[in-house]
Amino acid sequence: MRELILKNKEDQRLIHGHLWIFSNEVDSPLGDFAEGEEVLVKNAQGHCLGTACVNPHALICARLHSRRQAVHLDAELLHKRLRTALALRTQLFSKPWYRLCHGEGDLLPGLVIDRYDRHLTIQITTKAMELRKQELFSVLQELLQPQSLLLANDNPMRALEGLSLEKECLGDVPCELEVPENDCLFTVPCQTGQKTGWFYDQRDNRQKAASFARDLDVLDAFCYVGGFGVGCAKHGCRSVTFLDASSQALDYARRNLEHNAPACAETASYLEGSAQKLLAELAAEGRRFDLVSIDPPAFIKRRKDAGQGISAYRKLNQLAASLLKPGGILVSSSCSFHLKEETLLDCIARSAHKLGRTCQLLAKGQQAADHPELLGMPETRYLKCCIARLLPGD
């Protein structure tokens, strides 16, 4: 293997557990390397930090897949890493519905796999992993014998790596999937769903939110297929309103509610359109709820957008808080890595202050354990969920 030499003092993140190397940290001519080439990563003093794959055309120009020298990203390593990942999930869950591989969190940069029993949905976001996908398919066949694979290639990160955005199907990929979660059973779109079809990362947070919902009027904004609202209905909420920009998502939310909580389905409401616009309209109409969940897409995708994104989170939390009855519960989520937990808490506190309310923090959550965080790499911890109670300010 050829060597990729870092500039002086650019090895500290890697020494402390990070896996990414940025193009401005490299002292070697990147143009000399082929896309997906394996290299030995060395610091300016010549000490080897591990083995990585290179994409000379990307901002993240190399990603470590091993701390040892000359370890190939091949079928043997894929098998080892996925077997280790599978062992954790098998210990965590009695049924095969979970995130099987969480990219860097499972030491396989550029690879995300969600398992739905005999179907796998895969996101490959690096050139190196794309070049090795045939080996990946063989390993998955050996480990799990899946009936079908969907390569959800519409992730914009693929464009940054120069990869195609067209989806690929192997086997008889279903149109819909059934996902058991907590004590509910959800039907979700497979080929036309968001991301990988379902958001396993919110599993624990949905269960926690539902535990507060008995006899409450609930609003589930950015509901997708109804994960938060259906869970609340299953736990005995008085009424539930779903809000989403997608008519398809709302159709699935309706079906999931009818299946899991038919009594609540008789009085449920469904609102289609921009969340911010509809939340403002509900507030102007004087509508109030006992529990409001907001689970928006990432408002901050790049560090330079943080200021604008934080303003958007403040506005959204203010709208959601204004819809709460005194003593109501706000479930506020963010999947933006660049929004820190303390900043989200500040958004909630500011909202309470502007409304003259006193804010109690009831619970904090992050992504579920099948989305492991790699210590030393904060980018692998991205999801925040804060549950707060807004009391009258007397």
| Residues annotated as catalytic (active site), given as ranges | 335
Instruction: Please report the sign of the dihedral spanned by the C-alpha atoms of residue 338, residue 377, residue 89, residue 146.
Output: positive
Environment class of residue 9 by beta-carbon count within 10 Å: exposed (0-12), middle (13-18) or buried (19+)?
exposed
Q: Give the Cα separation of 90 and 204 in Å (integer).
A: 17
Q: What is the CA radius of gyration of the chain?
A: 22
Q: Give the Cα separation of 178 and 116 in Å (integer).
A: 8
Beta bridge partners of 187: 178
Q: What does residue 326 show for φ and ψ, rounded to 5 degrees?
A: -55, 130
Q: Give the Cα separation of 257 and 264 in Å (integer).
A: 8
Q: Give the Cα separation of 318 and 279 in Å (integer).
A: 10
Contacts of 382 (CB under 8 A, 6+ apart): 335, 336, 337, 367
Contacts of 307 (CB under 8 A, 6+ apart): none
Contacts of 73 (CB under 8 A, 6+ apart): 38, 51, 53, 65, 128, 129, 132
Helices 247-260 and 227-234: crossing angle in degrees, nearest 10, is 20
Q: What is the chain's percent helix, strand, coil content, to nearest 5?
A: 35, 30, 35
Instruction: Please report the sign of the dihedral spanned by the C-alpha atoms of residue 209, residue 210, residue 213, residue 219.
Output: positive
